[in-house]
Amino acid sequence: MRIALLNGPNLNLLGVREPAVYGTRTLAEIEASLAQVAGTLGCTLTCVQKNGEGELIDAIHALRGQCDGAIINAGAYSHTSLAIRDAFSSVSVPFVEVHLSNIYAREPERRHSMLAPGAKAVLVGFGAAGYELALRGLVGLIGGARA
């Protein structure tokens, strides 16, 4: 099974960006940990981080026929980008949305996700552990035997 991990704007700064909100683990540490979990689940994991909305959409388009599912933390684009949700619909790749913080306990503009209506599931507020929960859940949803 092939799974993509997509991270949006500013997530390349994890570990130094507002650690009280986003934690102290770097994106590289999260990706390495998730790759190990993917291996135990019999999956391959491809990781992409893009700061630009168009670049993120291009990365989603590239999943067509190449990927069985995706995990996305679109950062602030989650709250504004119908285009990212449309990109997933266009390529017919099931996805799980992840947020390190509890977006529903934050500023009003962060309490709505444009992606959630198209997602198989949404995980918020679990910090870096949310990525592993998303991976295990997604593998289970799309037919993984050992989720």
Q: Looking at the annotation, which residues are catalytic?
A: 22, 99
Q: Over the Cα atoms of the chain, what is R_g? A: 14
Q: Are 47 and 37 in contact (CB under 8 A)?
A: no
Angle at 137 between CA 25 and CA 49, to 5 degrees: 40
Q: Are 1 and 17 in contact (CB under 8 A)?
A: no
**Closest listed residue to residue 93, CA positions, set 28, 48, 26, 31:** 48
Cα–Cα distance measured from residue 99 to residue 5, given in angstroms and rounded to the nearest whole number: 13
Q: Which residue has the tokens 């990365």?
A: 59
Cα–Cα distance measured from residue 136 to residue 3, given in angstroms and rounded to the nearest whole number: 11
